[in-house]
Amino acid sequence: MGIVIETSVWEPSSSVFIFILISSFLSLSLFPFYFSKHATSKSPPFSDHSPYSSSPSLRFQLYFLLIYSLASVLEGLWSVYGEFELVYHGISKEDTVTFLLIGFGAALFVGSFLGPVSDLIGRKKVCLVFFMLHLIVGIWRMIASSPSFWIANVCLSLATSIFTFSFEKWAVMEHDKMGHRQEILNETFWLMIFFESASLIGSQVIGNWMVGGNLEKGIGSPSAAAALLAMVGIICMSRDHDGTPKTIMFKDYRASFYAYILGDRRIWLLACAQTCLHFSIAVFWILWAPTLVADGREVYLGLIYPCMLGARMLGSTVFPWLIDASFRTEDCLMYAFVTEALLLSIIAYDYQDIGVLVTQFSLFHACIGLILPSLARLRTMYVPNELRGGMISLSLAPANAAILFLLMQRGYYRTIENSTMIAFAAVGLFIAAGCMYFLKRCGKQPYQNGRKL
């Protein structure tokens, strides 16, 4: 008599998505009422007496969020279908590790210097390069039957490096040019994270719809969509203009960077926190799927991905509540970093049920949704606007170097385990929390909304 072993594929309940959607809606809809009751001297966002009521301010914010969402969809299309396309073309796991190494190597040795370049030549040209890189990769994959993933991987890694600083710098510089208050810039920061997360979910929907059930005909569809969206982005950025931006000579820029960035210990602490966060997020996205499917467990990864991003959206909506409650940004970040570190510590050394793991993953991303706009706010308080791109890109270089080292140890030499890499990420987050503690103790706050060079 044969024994039949029934297997089931785990997937999150639909109630999880409903809960995240309702919570995000309530957080957004109730905040103006809370704001009007607790801040009588100020007007709630988007009210008739709000600074947003001026049409140029609102027009720019809507235009910027549209372009930023478009760029986020491009980033999401490659992150969702990148590994699947490698498997489809017969790329082995060893080669996949090599592709990861090449990508992080390009981000380290080339991407780290794109930030200073953007400070020197202006954000418009660098944002155009972002869309052009995606256009090149999209066309390359459409016309080549067996595209070179080495070239595509380098281009996409450089585009991701540009994505980390160029759009934020654009928003900050434009707000400063219009003379906006810090409150408006704070709104833009959390809306960026909210729309980015929503766009990443949308990119998954677009990719699934275009591929469909016929892999032979549909595998190239996401590349065509990416090329089309990249062309739209190039047209929009070409129609935009910087006006007459102030030209900074390299000699003056280098002197200013040494004086204002390398000479300020508060910026060193902020950069260290950014490095640790970038490192932990990269480790998470490399290992989250292998952690869930360990020991042969079957999981619908495509349903867990939007669950985590939805939690990130919800976390971003908490940011305006905390800012309005007069909490110090450093305190909020310190507690958020500790929470993330504890979550990763549990994941690293405790074998758990899939549902518990997904819950911890979602909480981790909810904290990220709060941390990212908070760090952007601190950068506005401490970092001169003209040096913002260089500070962000160079602060991510140590994280990319650490990821390269761990990938080599794990992928080639097999000297460390996945749990050890996650533990390193947890230690980094504890270090980031310590940086926020010491940043708070540094004393008085510096300038607001950027310092002129």
Least confident of 60-64, 66-70, 131-135: 60-64
Query: How many CB atoms neighbour CB 413 within 10 A?
Result: 8
Q: Is the pLDDT of residue 228 over 70?
A: yes
Section 57-81 average pLDDT: 88
Our measurement of the distance from residue 201's CA atom to the centroid of its chain's CA atoms, rounded to an integer in Å, reads 13
Query: Residue 54: pLDDT band by 50, 70, 90 thresholds?
Result: low
Query: Residue 110: pLDDT band by 50, 70, 90 thresholds?
Result: very high
- 390 against 251, higher pLDDT: 390
406-416 tens-digit pLDDT: 999 988 888 89
178-201 tens-digit pLDDT: 776 677 888 899 999 999 999 999
3-state secondary structure (DSSP) of residue 10? strand
Proportion of the chain above pLDDT 90, given as a percent: 49
Q: Is the pLDDT of residue 375 over 80?
A: yes
Least confident of 44-58, 92-106, 326-340, 433-447: 44-58
Tokens of 392: 């962000």
Section 134-146 average pLDDT: 82
Q: Is the pLDDT of residue 3 over 70?
A: no
Section 368-395 average pLDDT: 94
| Predicted local distance difference test score (pLDDT) of residue 49 | 45
271-324 tens-digit pLDDT: 999 999 999 999 999 999 889 888 778 888 888 999 999 999 999 999 988 887
CATH dotted code for 14-26+57-440: 1.20.1250.20
Length of the chain: 453
| Predicted local distance difference test score (pLDDT) of residue 231 | 96
CA distance 297 to 38: 49
Query: Residue 147: pLDDT band by 50, 70, 90 thresholds?
Result: low
Q: Is the pLDDT of residue 142 over 90?
A: no
| Predicted local distance difference test score (pLDDT) of residue 57 | 72
What pTM was estimated for this model as a whole? 0.90
- 215 against 386, higher pLDDT: 386
| Predicted local distance difference test score (pLDDT) of residue 80 | 73
- 17 against 30, higher pLDDT: 17
Least confident of 59-63, 105-109, 219-223, 428-432: 219-223
Q: Is the pLDDT of residue 449 over 70?
A: no
Question: Residue 300 gets which letter from DSSP?
Answer: -
Query: Residue 423: pLDDT band by 50, 70, 90 thresholds?
Result: very high
| Predicted local distance difference test score (pLDDT) of residue 352 | 78
| Predicted local distance difference test score (pLDDT) of residue 209 | 83
3-state secondary structure (DSSP) of residue 240? coil
Spell out the residues 6+ positions from residue 310 whose beta carbon is closer than 8 angstroms to its own. Answer: 17, 20, 21, 24, 197, 201, 362
Closest CA to 384 of 315, 453, 433: 453
Tokens of 75: 């980033």
- From residue 208, alpha-carbon distances to 96, 138, 203, 219 in Å are 22, 17, 9, 10
| Predicted local distance difference test score (pLDDT) of residue 47 | 46
Q: Is the pLDDT of residue 41 over 50?
A: no
Closest CA to 309 of 195, 187, 168, 161: 195
| Predicted local distance difference test score (pLDDT) of residue 189 | 94
Mean pLDDT of the chain: 84
Highest mean pLDDT among 14-18, 57-61, 243-247, 420-424: 420-424
Query: Would you list the domain boundaries of the chain?
Result: 14-26+57-440
327-361 tens-digit pLDDT: 889 999 999 999 999 999 999 987 778 889 999 99
Section 114-121 average pLDDT: 92
Closest CA to 346 of 355, 334, 357, 337: 357
Contact criterion met (CB below 8 Å) for 130 and 163: yes
3-state secondary structure (DSSP) of residue 299? strand
